[in-house]
């Protein structure tokens, strides 16, 4: 019986898999065109699975060698001789015994001899080289020299002066075309280093633009296979859309949600079941989240960028020329949406919010409101929750200056809310509706859903406009009651404070101004 796999490459005979045949067809076109390129995607994005599947697609037309630089040992990068020995050993292990090549006099011990060795391998064969896990290798000058040798052979091959690999594909998190950026991040780049002007040895590579995320149609192909084998009926289209809404098609997150439903949630293939799976996912410790937090911890500029977008509601334009944007994109934390930077998926939004709250707990005063004050018979009383927050905020307001409150007001509410819903619910920020003046927060708790708009006071006219904005969003969510929490930082005018329930068309708005 197959299962959903979240560790290592997926194998069709063992695992339920998304049908990636269209993606493989797009990649094969690059190979058929003789392109050299890099598949650079964030961790656990299906790179290795894709390479194994691509190998199967190509092997009828090409000689294919799929190598991995994972675990080859640091001594392989100590000298040309060691690197050549490692590379040729891996190549020999991959070449089928029934493929004939010209005799090779001796094993190469330097790149000049390795170049000749590759020429002999490729003289009468269409040979494709795939190398997985190149990130660690990219830290070493010897590997960059190897890429430089391949680059030189590629150029000569184009001019019919040499034989080399028909296509070379490198797979890793970082784009090998931008080794300088990788070295800056690792602290290994010096502007006037001995290597002179830093030119990428991989500037021959074409851009890789195949979308490796899973859209709802992709996800449905995996669920159809599962449904047919398990003989379980559920609405595949609805479930695919819902999974996508949380994951934006991040392969690991898609498979993890499915695995939880299948193995831990009694095969509850409903929207409620997905919510339960998300609860499990956001509370677990895994290497993906560990990497996510490590990358934020280790890069203050990236930390500040994500905080500004997610918590402060600042709009940042997308620019690939900015190193911080590059790092965020490389790690799968952000995406480009209409030339603006957005958090890549809801799961990351939830976990990053939790991360920011934990970081700022030292500057926030803990509320004395307890969960059993707000939750009765497994029902969350959002009106009471907001009323209690207004009381809590009054204490905070008396102890902190205006600048502190303007920066931390939203985070104060999130840190207040978190212990009240933990274990039974979660919240996420609808980042596409977040800006400096407003933030939409969606809270799921035991089959209840609440929408809260957090706003900064900007006069009565703008406040009434918020009713319209909130009601439009409630209509999309098929809800009748919304919640409006407004922070008034007005220094000069009389401070507006109130708690009231207002009618706006067919909707009820619980309005709290603090």
Shared-domain flag, residues 372 and 505: yes
Shared-domain flag, residues 118 and 267: no
Burial of 211 (0-12, 13-18, 19+ CB in 10 A): exposed
Shared-domain flag, residues 166 and 223: no
- SS3 readout for 381-399: CHHHHHHHHHHHHHHHHHH
- SS3 readout for 305-322: HHHHHHCCCCCCECCCCC
Dist CA 486 CA 463 (whole Å): 9
What percent of the chain is predicted at pLDDT more than 90? 63
Residue 195 placed within a domain: no
What pLDDT score was predicted for residue 145?
93
Residue 136 placed within a domain: yes
- What is the torsion angle, in degrees rounded to the nearest 10, for the CA atoms of residue 356, residue 360, residue 365 and residue 369? 20
Flag whether pLDDT at 469 surpasses 50. yes
Higher pLDDT residue, 4 or 365?
A: 4
Residue 105 placed within a domain: yes
pLDDT digit string (tens) for 57-74?
A: 999 999 999 999 988 889
Q: How confident is the model at residue 315 (pLDDT cuts 50, 70, 90)?
A: confident
What pLDDT score was predicted for residue 197?
46
User: Longest Cα pair distance anywhere in the chain, in angstroms?
Assistant: 90
Report the domain count for the chain.
Answer: 3
Q: How confident is the model at residue 489 (pLDDT cuts 50, 70, 90)?
A: confident
SS3 content of the chain, % helix, strand, coil (to 5): 50, 15, 35
Residue 61 placed within a domain: yes
Dist CA 429 CA 356 (whole Å): 13
What pLDDT score was predicted for residue 403?
65
107 SS3 class: coil
Shared-domain flag, residues 255 and 174: no
Shared-domain flag, residues 165 and 229: no
Shared-domain flag, residues 261 and 125: no
Dist CA 375 CA 163 (whole Å): 72
Mean pLDDT within 280-298: 94
Domain boundary among 284, 313, 338: 284
Pairing outcome for strands 379-380 and 375-376: antiparallel
What pLDDT score was predicted for residue 192?
45
Flag whether pLDDT at 279 surpasses 80. yes
Q: Is the pTM of this model over 0.85?
A: yes
What is the domain range of residue 232? Answer: 216-284
What is the average pLDDT score of the chain? 88
Shared-domain flag, residues 177 and 235: no
Burial of 57 (0-12, 13-18, 19+ CB in 10 A): middle
Residue 68 placed within a domain: yes
pLDDT digit string (tens) for 371-418?
A: 888 999 999 999 999 999 998 888 877 666 666 666 677 888 888 998
Flag whether pLDDT at 185 surpasses 70. no
- What is the torsion angle, in degrees rounded to the nearest 10, for the CA atoms of residue 485, residue 487, residue 490 and residue 493? 30
Shared-domain flag, residues 144 and 220: no
Flag whether pLDDT at 188 surpasses 80. no
Domain boundary among 284, 315, 337: 284
**CATH code, 142:** 3.40.50.300
What pLDDT score was predicted for residue 122?
93
308 touches 431 (CB < 8 A)? no
Shared-domain flag, residues 117 and 168: yes
What pLDDT score was predicted for residue 328?
92
Domain boundary among 284, 301, 333: 284
What percent of the chain is predicted at pLDDT more than 70? 87
């Amino acid at each position: 019986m197959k299962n959903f796999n979240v560790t290592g490459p997926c194998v069709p005979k063992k695992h339920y898999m998304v049908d990636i045949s269209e993606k493989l067809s797009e990649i094969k076109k690059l190979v058929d065109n003789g392109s050299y390129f890099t598949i650079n995607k964030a961790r656990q994005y299906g790179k290795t699975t894709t390479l194994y599947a691509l190998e199967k697609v190509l092997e009828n037309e090409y000689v294919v060698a799929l190598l991995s630089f994972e675990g080859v040992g640091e001594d392989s990068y100590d000298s040309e001789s060691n690197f050549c020995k490692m590379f040729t050993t891996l190549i020999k292990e991959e070449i089928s015994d029934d493929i004939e090549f010209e005799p090779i006099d001796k094993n190469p011990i330097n790149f000049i001899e390795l170049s000749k060795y590759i020429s002999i391998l490729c003289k009468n064969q269409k040979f494709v080289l795939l190398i997985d896990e190149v990130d660690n290798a990219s830290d070493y000058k010897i590997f960059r020299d190897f890429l430089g040798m391949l680059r030189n052979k590629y150029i000569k091959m184009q001019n019919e002066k040499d034989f080399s690999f028909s296509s070379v594909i490198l797979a890793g998190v970082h784009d090998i075309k931008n080794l300088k950026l990788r070295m800056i991040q690792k602290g290994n780049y010096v502007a006037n280093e001995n290597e002179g002007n830093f030119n990428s040895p991989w500037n021959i590579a074409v851009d890789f633009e195949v979308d490796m995320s899973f859209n709802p149609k992709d996800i449905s192909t995996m669920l159809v296979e599962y449904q047919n084998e398990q003989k379980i009926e559920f609405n595949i289209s609805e479930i695919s859309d819902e999974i996508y809404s949380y994951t934006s098609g991040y392969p690991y997150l898609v498979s993890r949600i499915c695995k939880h439903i299948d193995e831990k949630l009694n095969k509850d293939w409903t929207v409620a079941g997905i919510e339960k799976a998300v609860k499990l996912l956001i509370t677990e410790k895994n290497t993906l989240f560990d990497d996510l937090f490590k990358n934020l911890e280790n890069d203050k500029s990236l930390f500040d960028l994500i905080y500004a977008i997610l918590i402060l509601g600042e709009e940042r334009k997308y620019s690939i020329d900015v190193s911080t944007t590059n790092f965020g994109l490389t790690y799968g934390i952000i995406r480009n949406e209409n030339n603006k930077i957005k958090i890549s998926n809801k799961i990351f939004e939830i976990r990053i919010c939790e991360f920011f709250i934990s970081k700022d707990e030292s500057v926030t005063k803990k509320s004395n409101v307890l969960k059993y004050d707000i939750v009765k018979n497994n029902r969350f009383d959002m009106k009471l929750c907001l009323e209690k927050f207004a009381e809590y905020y009054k204490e905070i307001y008396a102890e902190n200056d205006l600048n502190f409150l303007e920066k931390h007001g939203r985070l104060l509410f999130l840190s207040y809310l978190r212990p009240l819903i933990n274990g039974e619910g979660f919240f996420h920020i609808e980042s596409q509706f977040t800006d400096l003046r407003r933030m939409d927060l969606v809270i799921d708790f035991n089959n209840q859903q609440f929408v809260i708009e957090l706003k900064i006071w900007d006069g009565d006219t703008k406040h009434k406009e918020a009713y319209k904005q909130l009601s439009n969003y409630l209509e999309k969510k098929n809800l009748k009651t919304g919640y409006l929490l407004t922070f008034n930082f007005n220094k000069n005018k009389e401070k507006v404070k109130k708690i009231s329930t207002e009618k706006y068309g067919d909707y009820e708005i619980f309005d709290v101004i603090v």
